[in-house]
Structure 1
Amino acid sequence: MTYLVFFCGHAGTGKTTLAKKLLVPLMQASATPFCLLDKDTLYGGYSAAAMAMLTGDPNDRDSPLFLQHLRDPEYRCLIDTARDNLQLGVSALVVAPLSREIRERRLFDRAWLGIGDDVKLRVVWVHTTEETARQRIIARADPNDAYKLAHWDEYRQRRFVPSGEMGEDLLMFDNTAPTLANDEALLTRIVGEPQRVATLLPRLPV
């Protein structure tokens, strides 16, 4: 069995750090190889070049122009790359905000994803407080965050925590100050093998 696992959430919530921390234990617990597909790693350079050509600012990736014309193709290619790996028997851990897809429940639409019932599908929503996220964004000093910080009041309107029908089947993870027990609980919910997980998590860094 292969797994398609999404780590989604807003900027500054620690999606990538969490994914990298859990990747090896996830492979061990599931007994399947995984690839890590991070949107920024896969498409960051291309998007920077495209925006530099269009606007003169390679870091202008939160502007209306980017969101209207480049965002969706990036995400579509990300999903397609995950599906190619799944067809080769390699599970995929996908890291990206995917907030619109969460709102529209697309990540639970197997037809939209292009996957069959043989793929174990898990969607994790990584969240933290707005102020924690903002401080982390400031601390990492990534030029790609410049638009967010300069237009924070506008950007913060896009932030949300899924609830009600939108949050059904989501694995919610508060990444403000996670403990080893929190990591273990998340890994167990992804894999569904508590006994195997319990023998792996002590290897995770605290």
Structure 2
Amino acid sequence: MSVTRAYFVIGPAGSGKSTVARLLARQTGAAYIDKDTACTRFTEALLELAGTDRSERDLNPYYQSTVMDLEYLTILDLARDNLAVGRPVVLDAPFGRYFSRPGYLAEVAERHSWPRHAEPVVVRVETDSDTAQARVRARGCARDLSKLADWDAFWQKAQDNACRWSSRHSLVFDNRADGVTPDAVARALGGLAGDDSRAPGLTVR
């Protein structure tokens, strides 16, 4: 059976993950799985039932200890169901909690019973602090208020949290103010398709 790819699109708030993830999904015909879309209604209900702020994530101990892992388990199961029928997937979520585990992608495949033909691709979206902050302010989400209250501390923590995943394939998109174009995504995908035996770490600007 041919390889079916799972694109893990990662980056801090305001990096433009969703923009890049949607471009990838359009060009590959992948199922687009956004953690916020899949889980927010249930997450807010759980936070309310626990007597906590339904909009707070970063400073909410109940969310951090109980709910966040459930969100990721949910989207990774959704990914499995698509991969099992031969459809690639694009996962749009920060995944920051799991960056320190080099074997995380292998753990995911085993725990969620992903098919053997599924191949992960790590897609890192990068930008600068000022651009990210402006994007976060513009989207106006209540869950971002704690980030904006001390943006410098949030941004430094995000930069210090390096992704240590072991992956055969990886892409890096420079998504500063000018943004990532469809042509840039097409070039990156062409690089992956051109030689499946190598392990590219392609940076697209």
What TM-score results when the alignment is normalised by the length of structure 2? 0.78
Unaligned runs of 5+ in 2: 196-205
**Counterpart in 2 of 1:47?**
43
Q: Are positions 1:60 and 2:61 aligned together?
A: no
Deviation at 1:87, TM superposition (A): 1.5
What residue in structure 2 maps to residue 81 of structure 1? 78
Distance 2:127 2:52 in 1: 33
Higher fraction of helix: 1
Paired residue for 1:4?
Answer: 6
Identify if the C-alpha distance between structure 1 residues 113 and 125 changes in structure 2 by more than 3 Å, giving closer, same or farther: farther
TM-superposed CA distance for 1:40, in Å, is 0.3
Number of matched residues?
187
- Cα separation, 1, equivalents of 2:161 and 2:106: 14
Alignment partners' CA distance in 1, 2:95 and 2:105: 9
Matched, 1:146 2:145: yes
Structure 1 unpaired stretches of 5+: 28-33, 195-206
CA deviation profile, 1:62-84 (whole Å, cap 9, x unmatched):
22412222111111111111112
Give the match for residue 175 of structure 2: 175
Q: How does 1:155-170 map to 2 (within 5 A)?
A: 155-160=154-159, 169-170=169-170
Q: In structure 2, what is the Cα distance between the partners aligned to 1:118 and 1:166?
A: 19
Counterpart code for 1:21 = L
Pairwise CA distance, 1:108: 4.6
Equivalent residue letter for 2:190: T
Residues in 2 aligned to 1:94 and 1:155: alpha-carbon distance in whole angstroms = 23
Two-structure CA RMSD over aligned residues (Å): 2.6
Checking the alignment, whether the CA contact within 8 Å between 1:107 and 1:123 is kept in structure 2 is no
Runs in 1 of length 4+ with deviation above 4 angstroms? 161-169
Opposite residue 94 of structure 2, the aligned amino acid is P
* CA 161–17 in structure 1, closer or farther in 2 if over 3 Å, else same: farther
Residue type of the alignment partner of 1:69: T
Which residue of structure 2 lines up, in the alignment, with residue 70 of structure 1?
A: 67
Q: Deviations over 1:78-109 (max 9, x none)?
A: 11111122112222111100122233131254
Q: TM (normalized to structure 1)?
A: 0.78
Return the offset for 1:127: 1.5
Q: Which whole-Å CA distance do the structure 2 matches of 1:129 and 1:167 have between them? A: 25
Identity among equivalent pairs (%) = 29
Measured in 2, the distance between the counterparts of 1:57 and 1:143 equals 10
Aligned to 2:89: 92
**Is the Cα–Cα contact under 8 Å of residues 4 and 119 in structure 1 kept in the other structure?**
yes
Task: Identify if the C-alpha distance between structure 1 residues 112 and 124 changes in structure 2 by more than 3 Å, giving closer, same or farther.
Answer: farther
- One-letter amino acid of the structure 2 residue matched with residue 107 of structure 1: L
CA contact 1:7–1:15 (8 Å) conserved in 2: yes
